[in-house]
Chain A
């Protein structure tokens, strides 16, 4: 029988491409023969805009990169600035940054697992359960800085302001309630036979291939490589904290899903230790808003929820960065999408894409 492969444009408007992302896919029936990723629909020129703003103003631009993880974006940028200007951060400021970043990691992983399950067709029930907890985190961000999504909480040399009293109360109750919620979430999802059948051994990524594509974050760790910048090249006060790196064995969709849940548990333990260790003191070493760093360059990187997020800044001694290069984990994790998708089915393609956890704000910058 004569058959014909058909080409379908999945996106830029599609319920599960996680933003304006487009895939030109050639299908043989339901099986994928060829994939061509097309992106750039959300390009706002963040890197160019950064050259027109002062060092402090650029922080607001970083909020809009990965808009479900603004805190870690702030952190990576201010770390780069501090490296460039040799500015010390007071301990309390560093602890507050770590608490905010780990809370943001939990929120981002809830969004990732929630939408992964929605891609699996589980309506929005697990998503809404995750969002209920994320809502509490966003409330805490509101206490910290007045904003919920685009925080601009961190400043060069510390954080915007000290946390108010009620923040510590709600953080404590959040930390106490979280393990119970995670156990419930785990038992509801990981015991589900359909979920296991849909995610295990689907979209398998080899460790060597992941490293060749310079994939980072949970996607790399799911292949069995224990690479976490908080351990490998510690920043802030992470050397004082005891935590584990969860790694997977197969590098399939299930591992990527499970590792995010395990990382949430680790983040809770990190926040718990920060809560115990934090002491009174200044939160910001300088109240300057305008900086004129020496000519030179610096790189600042953090383990963002999606992988290694890096800012490379070049200074010509002026008020604004001469060049600001953003190494966004979503874009680089997306580069191996073609190898991952060819040969799988349409349904699995959506799930694999969801399990990589891309964010178009960060991919297109």
Chain B
């Protein structure tokens, strides 16, 4: 029961106040709580679990909303309607889907490793929900302010790799095996540039706590760290198995990848984890690069949701637009392009902070003008890197565009080859 934890969390404070009273919760509460004196620890647990309950349900509801909005928007992108039969505008479609999945038979294939097969969806869902613990949804709206928040997000979301491998390996299906092999390779490769792209923010804020990161953003970090933003966005869409990096569950190649053999509620858990992960990643992007909950006129949580759904819309848009890369191209892009780019970002950011920052109490401090200057340097070096990469990595593919030849008369050369 750390002091800062209790003081800064609004919802926790309210519930704990009602239960335990002013003796433990502070001066603003009523003198007598509901619980007898000496049992305030029960209040602590109840308040904690209440917030967790809200978060987990918000996560699942968010996933359902995402499923609906994705199907609807993809429909719009593809000149069709999308689901519009269940409820007004098809709004109840996700509920119908969930009910259907709940009532479906739970099939475990022959020769499957049953315990691992059952455990995999849970291992997949748990980290996605756990990440929400450190995300600040508004001023005072969070579960906990962990001082290693960024590290925690990276560590917890890394567990998804294990779940994908468990799912693919356990169900004795070769498509699933392909999916999980691809998944492990891809997730590990893209985690590296993604984590490195956070280092620039770390240099600027000097803290791993997400609340400190938001508070440090006088200017949104998307302007100060455009290179890191690009890397993080690409890395995130690869981590989420979204196009153009959806080789893990490439439906035209390996049916559904690692969850080919899952049905019923286990499949629903995989879907919830994937869809929820996109929202959580949107929340991380909003916190790290878009100034978190802060914005004019509207209350904090509303601004936060707007930013998250902006990211979600971008993801859906990309999915409707781009084809998929091949496995070796995906891996090559991570190791040959993104990783060097993220190292360049660390160097450029570190150097510009070292040169521009003024020493105050052993820490380099930057004012708004300095921050914008850092951003300009960052953007310029990003463009330089892209030009250089385009020069060195020029593939045969980007050569001449129109190569087909029009022949107006029957080609005698063809006849020669024939006879």
Contacts and interface: CB of A to CB of B under 8 A. Distances in A.
Contact of A192 (B320, B323, B396, B402): B323
B414 to A, nearest CB: 4
A6 interface: yes
B397 A129 contact: no
A15 B251 contact: yes
A48 interface: no
A347 B175 contact: no
Nearest to B80: A128
B397 A226 contact: no
Given A121-B250, A132-B79, A347-B253, A194 B405 contact: no
Interface of A: 6, 8, 14-16, 30, 117-125, 128-129, 132, 190-198, 200-201, 207-208, 211, 225-228, 231-232, 242-250, 254-255, 258-259, 262, 345-348, 350
Contacts of A193: 397-398
Contact of A125 (B77, B254, B406, B413): B77
Given A118-B252, A259-B404, A350-B252, A200 B323 contact: no
Contacts, number: 149
B411 A121 contact: no
A119 B250 CA distance: 9
18 contacts: A6-B174, A8-B174, A121-B244, A121-B323, A122-B323, A196-B398, A197-B329, A200-B399, A207-B417, A226-B413, A228-B410, A244-B407, A245-B407, A245-B408, A245-B411, A255-B404, A345-B326, A346-B253
Interface in B1-26: none
B74 A123 contact: yes
Nearest to A254: B403
A346 B179 CA distance: 12
A125 B413 CA distance: 39
B417 A225 contact: yes
Given A121-B243, A207-B417, A225-B417, A247 B79 contact: no
Given A124-B78, A200-B396, A231 B409 contact: yes
B321 A125 contact: yes
A60 B301 CA distance: 64
B397 A248 contact: no
- Sorted nearest first, the 7 A-B pairs with minimum C-beta distance are A121-B324, A226-B411, A244-B406, A122-B323, A120-B323, A196-B397, A16-B252
Contacts of A348: 326
B401 to A, nearest CB: 6
A122 to B, nearest CB: 4
Contacts of B326: 197-198, 345, 347-348
Contacts of B178: 8, 30, 346
A190 B401 contact: yes
A219 B88 CA distance: 48
Nearest to B409: A231
B403 A15 contact: no
A121 B246 contact: yes
Given A194-B325, A197-B397, A346-B254, A211 B403 contact: no
Contacts of B255: 14-15
B326 to A, nearest CB: 5
B65 interface: no
Nearest to A252: B403
A324 to B, nearest CB: 27
A231 B404 contact: no
B327 interface: yes
Given A122-B323, A258-B403, A346-B254, 14 more contacts: A117-B323, A120-B323, A128-B79, A128-B80, A194-B324, A198-B325, A227-B418, A231-B409, A244-B406, A245-B410, A246-B405, A247-B405, A262-B404, A347-B247
Contacts of A190: 401-402
A175 B362 CA distance: 73
Among A226, A245, A346, the one with the most B-chain Cβ atoms within 10 Å of its Cβ is A226
A203 to B, nearest CB: 12
Contacts of B417: 207-208, 211, 225
Nearest to B418: A211
Among B255, B397, B417, the one with the most A-chain Cβ atoms within 10 Å of its Cβ is B397
B319 interface: yes
B395 interface: yes
Contact of B407 (A124, A132, A226): A226
Q: Chain B contact residues (Cβ within 8 angstroms of A): what range?
A: 35 or more
Contacts of B74: 123
Among A122, A227, A242, the one with the most B-chain Cβ atoms within 10 Å of its Cβ is A122
A34 to B, nearest CB: 15
Contact of B323 (A198, A207, A226, A232): A198
B125 to A, nearest CB: 25
B320 A125 contact: yes
B363 interface: no
Contacts of A248: 403-405
B244 A194 contact: yes
Interface in B240-290: 243-244, 246-247, 250-255
A347 B323 contact: no
A122 B406 contact: no
Contacts of B252: 15-16, 118-121, 350
B80 A225 contact: no
B328 interface: yes
B54 interface: no
Contacts of B79: 128-129, 132
B322 interface: yes
Contacts of B395: 197
B249 to A, nearest CB: 10
B408 A244 contact: yes
A43 to B, nearest CB: 25
Nearest to B254: A346
A228 B408 CA distance: 11
A247 B404 contact: yes
Contacts of A262: 404, 406
Interface in B216-237: none
Contacts of B397: 193, 196-197, 200-201
B254 to A, nearest CB: 7
Nearest to B78: A128
Contact of A227 (B319, B327, B328, B414): B414
Among B252, B254, B404, the one with the most A-chain Cβ atoms within 10 Å of its Cβ is B252
B367 to A, nearest CB: 40
Nearest to B414: A225
A198 B324 CA distance: 8
Given A118-B252, A192-B322, A123 B243 contact: yes
A327 to B, nearest CB: 17
A191 B321 CA distance: 13
Contacts of A228: 410
A216 to B, nearest CB: 12
Nearest to B252: A16
A141 B262 CA distance: 43
A340 B72 CA distance: 39
Nearest to A13: B255
Contact of B414 (A194, A226, A243, A244): A226
Interface in B364-417: 395-399, 401-411, 413-414, 417
